[in-house]
A and B are shown apart, each in its own frame.
Chain A
Amino acid sequence: MSSGSLLHVSGLSAGYGPIEVLHQIDFTVGEGEIVVILGANGAGKTTTMRALSGMIGRQGTVEYAGNDISGAKPDAILRAGISQVPQGRGTFTDLTVDDNLRAGGYTVKGSIDDDLERWYAQFPRLSERRDQKAGSLSGGEQQMLAVARAMMPKPKLLLCDEPSLGLAPLITQELFKVLGSLRDEHGMSLLIVEQNAGMSLAIADRAYVLETGNVVATGTGAELLADDTIKEAYLGVVN
């Protein structure tokens, strides 16, 4: 797998100040693959994402498309082709939907009008609300906006930090359909951290299980969905 992988992470440790949250974890994301990292609260999911996007200090090696980006800053990582949908959506609530997307295209040289229209076509609800402040959107609409914003810089790898957080099941379903279509129709690779095992594993090619900062299990989405311990811990199914 590692030779064909787009993102190759080995021995990644990260934390906040003196507290280490992630302990030397390894994982890969292949080209055109959706990889899910499953974990409960406090497992280190957000820490993984923030370490990958250069928002917090980290140790270990992060290789992307054959280049070592272990020490790169957020804007360099974004320019390399890795974009992130942050936890809690992180939309610019005081800015209009349109300005949110334009801010998403901040690193793109030249006109971004065509890209804007492409994402408006994909998300008609956002198009209808393009002059509305993002803060006035519903949770589901804001999550779609956060995804569209992250796609504006034309990344090859999208990092999604718990996209289902706070969303109703039907909206979550719609969202994972969109995420799946990014792989199927746009050839994207996705790394999704989640605690919603059911919906995320259903679209995952492969998945890792993260517990207190360590990878404790790995397999294909289907394998993990069928695993009794996973069912019990993340799906609330007791056998």
Chain B
Amino acid sequence: MSLFIERMVNGLADGSIYALLALALVVVFRSTGQLNFAQGEIGTFGAFVVSTLTLSGLPVWLSILLAMGVGFVVSAGVERVVVRPIEHRNPGAVIVALIGVFLAVNQLVSMIWGIDARPLPSIFPDEADSFVTVFGAPVRIARLGTIGVLIVVLVLLWLLFTKTKLGLAMRAVANNQDSSNLVGIRVGTVLLFGWGLAGAIGVLAAALLAPSAGLSGTLMLGPFLLASVAAVLGGLDSPIGAVVGGLLIGVTEAFIVGYVDFLGADMLFPVMLVILLAVLLLRPSGLFGSERVERV
């Protein structure tokens, strides 16, 4: 039982990372209709910025906040410089351009910081004895902290979307850009903010993951794939779906690795894809995605 709880919490903690990343993907997809392939790499870039800032003596939490700001600017820049000019002429080409950004950021990271993995300090107590006991199971404080961060981000996003004018504008733009223009919303600015927000969330996810996974240029490759699966599983236009999908995948991962010996970690991605296919066959728009019915 104690092992079960430990695996459950670890799964939820990893799932929180996927959920954050999936949330970032959904924020962009809802407003722009694009899957941001560069999302994970912008996160990796931000995690290296955290590393540089902490090495220069800044506290970890402040480094993460500053790096999230960098992620905001980089991601908003991608929207303005790459996505928007191409989208007008050829929406289909945007996805190729974003794969290009993915490669470019990936290269940039290894040019600036090299290819050797480096440690990144955690914002949570992360000593050998930093455990608490949950229902008799030892659980690392950093794991619980990661889940806590997801909850805080969810509350903040909920407040943004439902209680602020900017959030209303973001929902309006996601629903109908033409009408948003007509009610005086500056659609371009709102899109820019949405991409920036997604970039900042991506950096946060990477900075939470790096202390346990090790900071390297390939930090976000696996998590990005799993987060994409989570986003599609939950429904690409549904923030709730992204969170449920992310947690579901984290827990599934922990249980497969922990309990299903013959599959183990190597078979993780194939198993995830089978689950994804099964869900999409039954519910093409994902678990929580809206089925768009266009009235003609």
Contacts and interface: CB of A to CB of B under 8 A. Distances in A.
Interface of A: 53, 55, 74-75, 78-79, 83-84, 86, 90-95, 99, 102-104, 106-107, 149-150, 152-153
Contacts of A153: 183-184
Given A74-B184, A94-B171, 16 more contacts: A75-B186, A78-B182, A79-B184, A90-B178, A90-B182, A91-B176, A92-B171, A92-B172, A95-B171, A99-B171, A99-B172, A103-B169, A106-B184, A107-B184, A149-B183, A152-B183
Contacts of A150: 182
B175 interface: yes
A74 B182 contact: yes
B267 interface: no
30 contacts: A53-B182, A55-B178, A74-B181, A74-B182, A74-B184, A75-B186, A79-B184, A84-B182, A86-B179, A90-B178, A90-B179, A92-B172, A92-B179, A93-B176, A94-B174, A94-B290, A95-B171, A99-B172, A103-B169, A103-B172, A103-B183, A103-B185, A106-B169, A106-B172, A106-B184, A106-B185, A107-B183, A107-B184, A149-B183, A150-B182
Nearest to B179: A90
B65 interface: no
A103 B178 contact: no
Contacts of B186: 75
Contacts of B172: 92, 95, 99, 103, 106
**Which among B172, B179, B181 has the highest number of chain A CB atoms within 10 Å?**
B179
Contacts of B176: 90-93
B180 interface: yes
B165 interface: yes
A150 B185 CA distance: 13
A54 B179 CA distance: 13
B171 A55 contact: no
Contacts of A91: 176, 179
B168 interface: yes
Nearest to A104: B183
**Interface size bucket, B side?**
10 to 19
A106 B183 contact: yes
Interface of B: 165, 168-169, 171-172, 174-176, 178-186, 290
A217 B237 CA distance: 49
A55 B181 contact: yes
Contacts of A79: 184
A38 to B, nearest CB: 23
Contact of B175 (A78, A86, A92, A107): A92
A102 B182 contact: no
A106 B179 contact: no
A179 B16 CA distance: 52
Contacts of A86: 178-179, 182
A53 B181 CA distance: 9
A103 B181 contact: no
Give the 3 A-B residue pairs with the shortest CB-CB distance, closest first. A107-B184, A90-B179, A75-B184
Max chain A Cβ within 10 angstroms of own Cβ: one of B176, B178, B184 = B184
Contacts of A95: 171-172, 175
Contacts of B180: 103
Contacts of A106: 165, 168-169, 172, 183-185
Contacts of B168: 99, 102-103, 106
Nearest to B169: A106
Contacts of B178: 55, 86, 90
Nearest to A146: B179
A83 B175 CA distance: 20
B34 to A, nearest CB: 19
Contacts of B165: 106
B172 to A, nearest CB: 5
B184 A94 contact: no
A103 B176 CA distance: 11
A212 B87 CA distance: 31
A102 B174 CA distance: 16
A151 to B, nearest CB: 11
B236 to A, nearest CB: 14
A66 B176 CA distance: 32
Contacts of A92: 171-172, 175-176, 179
Nearest to A152: B183
Nearest to A75: B184
B171 to A, nearest CB: 6
B114 to A, nearest CB: 46
Nearest to A54: B181
A91 B182 CA distance: 11
B173 to A, nearest CB: 10
A150 B179 CA distance: 10
Contacts of A152: 183
B184 A93 contact: no
